[in-house]
Amino acid sequence: MGADELTSRFGEPEAVYRPSPGQTAAGVIVGAGATAALFVAGGFGSGLNATNRVGAVLLGLATAGLTFWLYRQRQWRLVIFRGGLVQVRPGGVDELLWAEVREVVRTRLKEFGERTTGVTFVGAHSRMVVSPVNYQAQAKLFETLLAAAEHRGVPIRVDWQEVD
């Protein structure tokens, strides 16, 4: 979906959010380094027995998968339009018109200074969860989203979650 089509459907963009390239690059570099170290330890670890070597290789595979997942998160975008929201994720695109939003749910954790961990927009037939992994200023993003919802008269509810 092109920018012109989005603008004709949702109006002019008010704000565009994308991940921090530096934060993404740092995570990928650390992940790639850890993956390489684990594969080297698994393949050439002279002081490790066979079980530990297999464990290092399996952990290296898991780290490689996590690093690839983090790399794909660079595609994330969130655009607040006058008429709605569009979130681009590695797995697809979420769209929601402001007119369809019935409520906004702010998920907060009590044990971590009541920090917001996500904002969910509940529509008539769909929901959009905004909880970016690699966005540096999450708190500011969440406050902007909540202010946009409040400005449009959408009720905001807090969902408190306990950390086990």
Instruction: Give the structural domain span for 68.
Output: 21-73
Do 34 and 91 belong to one domain?
A: no
Tens-level pLDDT at each residue, the chain (164 residues) = 666 787 778 888 988 888 888 888 988 999 999 999 999 988 887 788 888 889 999 999 999 999 998 898 888 889 999 999 999 888 888 999 999 999 999 888 777 666 778 889 999 889 898 988 767 688 888 889 999 999 999 999 888 877 66
Do 118 and 155 belong to one domain?
A: yes
Do 87 and 13 belong to one domain?
A: yes
Do 14 and 30 belong to one domain?
A: no
Q: Examine the fold and report which residue of 73, 99, 117 is the final residue of a domain before the chain moves on.
A: 73
Domain count of the fold of the chain: 2
Question: In sequence order, what DSSP letters do the residues of 7-52 get, joined into one string?
Answer: HHHH-SEEEEE---HHHHHHHHHHHHHHHHHHHHHHHH-TTS-HHH
